[in-house]
Amino acid sequence: MCEHHHATRHTLCMQCDLLVALPELRHCHKATCPRCGTTLTTEWDEPRARPTAYALVALFMLLLSNLFPFVNMKVAGVTSEVTLLEIPGVMFSEDYASLGTFFLLFVQLVPAFCLVTILLLVNRVKMSLSLKTFLARVLFQLKTWGMAEIFLAGVLVSFVKLMAYGDVGIGSSFIPWCLFCLLQLRTFQCVDRLWLWDDIAPAPLPATPLRVGVPGIRQGLRCCPCCAAVVAADNPICPRCHTKGYIRRRNSLQWTLALLVTSILLYLPANILPIMITDLLGDRMPSTILAGVILLWSEGSYPVALVIFIASIMVPTLKMIAIAWLCWDAKGHGKRDSERMHLIYEIVEFVGRWSMIDVFVIAVLSALVRMGGLMNIYPAMGALMFALVVIITMFAAMTFDPRLSWDREPESSHEES
Ligand SMILES: [Zn+2]
Ligand SMILES: [Zn+2]
Model confidence pLDDT, tens digit, residues 49-79: 999 999 999 999 999 999 999 999 988 888 8
Q: What is the pLDDT of residues 89-118, one digit of tens each?
A: 988 988 889 999 999 999 999 999 999 999
Q: Which helix (H) or strand (E) is 22 found in, with range?
A: strand 19-22
Point out which residues pair with 222 in neighbouring strands: 231
Ligand 1 (single-atom ion) residues, CB below 5 Å: 13, 15-16, 18, 33, 35-36, 38
Proximal ligand: closest to the CA of 16: 1
Report the distance separating Cα 315 and Cα 56, nearest Å: 34
Q: For residue 179, how far is its CA from the centre of ligand 2 (angstroms)?
A: 34
Q: What is the CA(190)–ligand 2 centre distance, in A? A: 21
Any domain includes 156: no
Tell me the mean pLDDT in the region 329-342.
75
What is the extent of the structural domain holding 366?
246-408
Confidence tier at 175 by pLDDT (50, 70, 90): very high
Q: Is 336's pLDDT higher than 70?
A: no
**Which stretches does DSSP call E strand in 364-406?**
375-379
Confidence band of 382 (pLDDT split at 50, 70, 90) = very high
Q: Report how far residue 250's alpha carbon sits from residue 390's, in angstroms, rounded to the nearest whole number.
A: 23
Residue 95 and residue 340: Cα distance in Å, rounded?
44
What pLDDT, on a 0 to 100 scale, did the predictor assign at position 5?
Answer: 40
Q: Tell me how far the alpha carbon of residue 224 lies from the centroid of ligand 2, in angstroms.
A: 5
304-324 burial by CB neighbour count: b if 16+ within 10 A, else e?
bbebbbbbbbebbeebbebbb
* The most confident of 57-71, 224-238, 240-254, 299-313, by mean pLDDT: 57-71
In SS3 terms, 262-324 reads as HHHHHHHHHHHCCCEEEEECCEEEEECHHHHHHHHHHCCCHHHHHHHHHHHHHHHHHHHHHHH
Q: What is the distance in A from the centroid of ligand 1 to the CA of 404?
A: 12
**What's the CA-to-centroid distance between 124 and ligand 1, angstroms?**
30
Q: Tell how far the Cα of 318 is from the centroid of ligand 2, in angstroms.
A: 33
| Sequence-ordered list of residues with C-beta below 8 angstroms from that of 289, at least 6 positions apart, any chain | 270, 271, 275, 308, 312, 313, 358, 382, 386
Question: Whole-angstrom Cα distance, residue 61 to residue 183?
Answer: 9
248 CA from centroid of ligand 1 (Å): 15
Work out the pLDDT band at 349, boundaries 50, 70, 90.
confident
Ligand 1 geometric centre to CA of 81 (Å): 49
SS3 content of the chain, % helix, strand, coil (to 5): 55, 15, 30
User: Residue 250 C-alpha to ligand 2 middle, in angstroms?
Assistant: 17
- Terminal Cα distance for the chain, rounded: 7
Q: Is residue 360 part of a domain?
A: yes
Position 174 confidence tier, pLDDT thresholds 50, 70, 90: very high
Domain count, the chain: 1
Q: What is the pLDDT of residues 306-324, one digit of tens each?
A: 888 988 888 899 889 988 9
Give 250-296 pLDDT, tens digit per residue: 899 999 999 999 999 999 999 999 999 988 888 898 999 998 899 88
Over residues 222-235, the mean pLDDT reads: 89
pLDDT attached to residue 414? 53
Residue 73 alpha carbon to ligand 1 centre in Å: 49
Residue 240 CA to ligand 2 center (angstroms) comes to: 5
Ligand nearest to the CA of 193: 2
Decide if 367 is inside a domain: yes
Is residue 13 domain-resident? Answer: no
Segment 352-364, tens digit of pLDDT: 889 899 899 999 9
Q: What is the pLDDT of residue 117?
A: 96
Q: Is 0.75 topped by the overall pTM?
A: yes
Distance from Cα 326 to the centre of ligand 1, integer Å:
17
Distance (angstroms) between ligand 2 centre and the Cα of 133 equals 9
109 located within any domain: no
How far away, in angstroms, is 10 Cα from ligand 2 center? 14
* Ligand (nearest to CA of 39): 1
pLDDT tier, 373 (very low <50, low <70, confident <90, very high otherwise): confident
Instruction: Identify which ligand lies nearest to the alpha carbon of 223.
Output: 2
Name the percent of the chain lying above pLDDT 70: 95
Measured from the alpha carbon of residue 414, the closest ligand is 1
Question: Taking 90 as the threshold, does the pLDDT of residue 36 lie above it?
Answer: no
Assess if residue 274 is contained within a domain. Answer: yes
Does residue 62 lie in a domain region? no
Rounded to the nearest whole angstrom, what is the distance from the C-alpha of residue 206 to the centroid of ligand 1? 20
Q: How far is CA 195 from CA 12, 44, 143, 184, in A?
A: 15, 9, 17, 19
What's the 342 CA to ligand 2 centre distance in angstroms? 24
Tell me how far the alpha carbon of residue 163 lies from the centroid of ligand 2, in angstroms. Answer: 51
Report CA dihedral (53, 184, 227, 24) to the nearest 10 degrees: -60
| pLDDT the model gives residue 2 | 39
* Residue 41 φ then ψ, to 5°: -160, 155
Distance 394 CA to ligand 2 centre (A): 23
Measured in Å, residue 241 CA sits from the centre of ligand 2 at: 4
Has residue 80 been placed in a domain? no
> Mean pLDDT over all residues of the chain?
88
Euclidean distance between CA atoms 19 and 216, whole angstroms: 6
According to the model, what pLDDT value does residue 3 have? 38
Residue 6: pLDDT over 60:
no
